[in-house]
Amino acid sequence: MNKMIEKLDFTVAIPTYNGAKHLPQVLDFLLKQTGIEKLNWEIIIIDNNSHDNTNEVIKHYQKTYSQNICLRYFFEKKQGISFARMRAISEARGEFVAFVDDDNLLAPDWILQSYTFGKEHPQAGAWSGQIHGNFEGKPPENFEKIQAFLAIREHGSNPYLFDAANLRLPPGAALVVRKQVWCENVPQRPSLSGKLPGIFVQGDDYEALLYIHYGGWQIWYNPTMHTYHQIPNWRLERDYLLTLARGCGLCIFQLRLINTKNWQKPIVFVKTILGNLCRVLQQLIHYRGQFKTNLIALFEMEFYFASMISPLYYLKCHICRVLNQFVIMFYNSDFTPTLNMLPIKEEKLKPKILLKIN
């Protein structure tokens, strides 16, 4: 592969955080891709501030497989999957950029099917395929009702357009985008960073896709692309699932604000609260007395409740952010009290800490 080519056909971007144990299997599957002998493609690893030996793993593959593949490594210190993906876009040389998580194993023809679909659908700004779950343990009963929250998509064998206006979109894992479309439509500073220590608000996948959709591009489901998502036992435990449900719900209002005009925002505010209040009440009536034993029903309740309060959560964060900016501006200014002001000692005006946004 010619590493000096500036523009390539396809880039596989793998954002990772402490993924040294998972990356070898992911890379091994990528090395077995078939039908792409005529494609110029590359793999880029975005190390999102890992503390393990991820860089050493990549150095080993660069040295061992230098004749087979163009594998590049970048360290992104700013934490958050959105920032890792933005870095991937800026470094990628491919016309199409595929985001692959470090727990995604791709079928042997995944790149070929992805590339072919993009060429055959010039109005597609993003497309994704079937994502199957490889579970370490047995999922809870009725898990299929919530499996989409764990990025599992098995929607049949016919391609179709996603309903972006109603937030029916593919996950960010195993997703392909046109680099130019992303650069022209997705803001460089995302509002939703994704999961961070102490913060589990989701929506980072959908934010970029909504900007692509409102830019006039189509978002497609391509059933010929098969991915196998590795799901360990701890991601099926009660605490993790409820935290996931809450994080997915709290971002709903902020996602609905994308491309919403100012005069429409109060309407969206009220509709989000009332619509999800109805769902909460329906859930209470339907599963009354079952929430201690029915994890899936409890998951759905947590999601509906978090969606209901998402406008209030957004408002709280927005107010705290504005106040923080004011405090910083006030603290950094050369402000001195005058005789017309209340006799407050100047040192009392200096803030000790900033407001914390949960």
pLDDT tens by residue, 213-258: 999 999 999 999 999 999 999 999 999 999 999 999 999 999 999 9
What residues contact residue 204 under an 8 Å CB cut-off, 6+ apart? 80, 81, 82, 172, 190, 192, 193, 194
Going from the C-alpha of 352 to that of each of 97, 201, 327, 333, 345, the distances in angstroms are: 45, 27, 10, 15, 15
What residues contact residue 37 under an 8 Å CB cut-off, 6+ apart? none
What residues contact residue 174 under an 8 Å CB cut-off, 6+ apart? 98, 99, 100, 101, 104, 106, 110, 128, 129, 131, 151, 225, 227
Closest CA to 315 of 244, 246, 248, 253: 253
The confidence band for 340, taking pLDDT boundaries of 50, 70 and 90, is: very low
More confident residue, 303 or 357: 303
The confidence band for 321, taking pLDDT boundaries of 50, 70 and 90, is: confident
Is the pLDDT score of 108 beyond 50? yes
By percentage, how much of the chain surpasses pLDDT 90? Answer: 78
- Looking at residue 346, its pLDDT comes to 38
Average pLDDT, rounded, for the chain: 89
Radius of gyration, CA atoms only, the chain: 23
Contact 173, 100 (CB under 8 A): yes
